[in-house]
Chain A
Amino acid sequence: MNYISDNIFQALLDWSEAWITLIPLAMYFFRKKYVHAYKIVAVYLILAFINNSAEGFTIAVLYYRVKGVFGTNNWLYNLHSVFLTVCFILFFREIGIRSKWLNTKWILPLYLITVGSIFLLSDDFFIISSKVFAIEGIVLLVYCVSFFLQRLKDDEIYLDFDAPLVIVTGLTIYESVNFFIFLFFNLLMEKAVAFAGSIWDVHNWVYIIFCLFITYAFYGRTRLIYR
Chain B
Amino acid sequence: MGEQGSYIVSLVMVGIGAMLILVIAFLLTFNHSQRRKFRHRQEMMTLREEQQNLLIEAAIKAEESERKRIAEELHDDVGALLSATKLYMHHIDTGPLKETDRLSHEKCIELLGESIGKVRTISHNLHSIMMEDMGLNEGIRSFLRKLEQSNSLSIIVELDESYGSFTGGKDINIYRIIQELCNNILKHADAQALTIRSWPENKHVNFQLQHDGKGLSQEMFEQLRFQSNGLGLKNIQNRVALLKGIILFDVNDMNSSVLLKIPAENGVPA
Interface on A for B, CB 8 Å cutoff?
145, 148, 151-152, 157, 159, 169, 172-173, 176-177, 179-181, 183-184, 187-188, 191-192, 194-195, 199, 202, 226
Contacts and interface: CB of A to CB of B under 8 A. Distances in A.
B149 to A, nearest CB: 51
Interface string B1-22: 1101110110110011001101
B1 A180 contact: no
A152 B38 CA distance: 11
Given A151-B34, A172-B26, A191-B4, 20 more contacts: A151-B30, A152-B33, A157-B34, A169-B27, A172-B23, A173-B23, A176-B19, A176-B20, A176-B22, A177-B16, A179-B15, A179-B19, A180-B12, A184-B15, A191-B2, A192-B1, A192-B5, A195-B9, A199-B12, A202-B16
Contacts of A145: 26
Contacts of B16: 177, 180-181, 202
Nearest to B4: A191
Interface residues of B, number: 23
20 contacts: A148-B26, A152-B30, A157-B37, A157-B41, A159-B38, A169-B27, A172-B23, A173-B23, A176-B19, A177-B20, A177-B23, A179-B15, A179-B19, A180-B12, A180-B15, A188-B5, A191-B2, A192-B9, A194-B1, A226-B41
Contacts of A148: 26, 30
A226 B8 CA distance: 48
B17 to A, nearest CB: 9
Interface of B: 1-2, 4-6, 8-9, 11-12, 15-16, 19-20, 22-23, 26-27, 30, 33-34, 37-38, 41
Contact of A184 (B12, B19, B27, B33): B12
A169 B33 CA distance: 16
A134 B124 CA distance: 83
A176 B12 CA distance: 12
A150 B30 CA distance: 11
Given A148-B26, A177-B23, A191 B15 contact: no
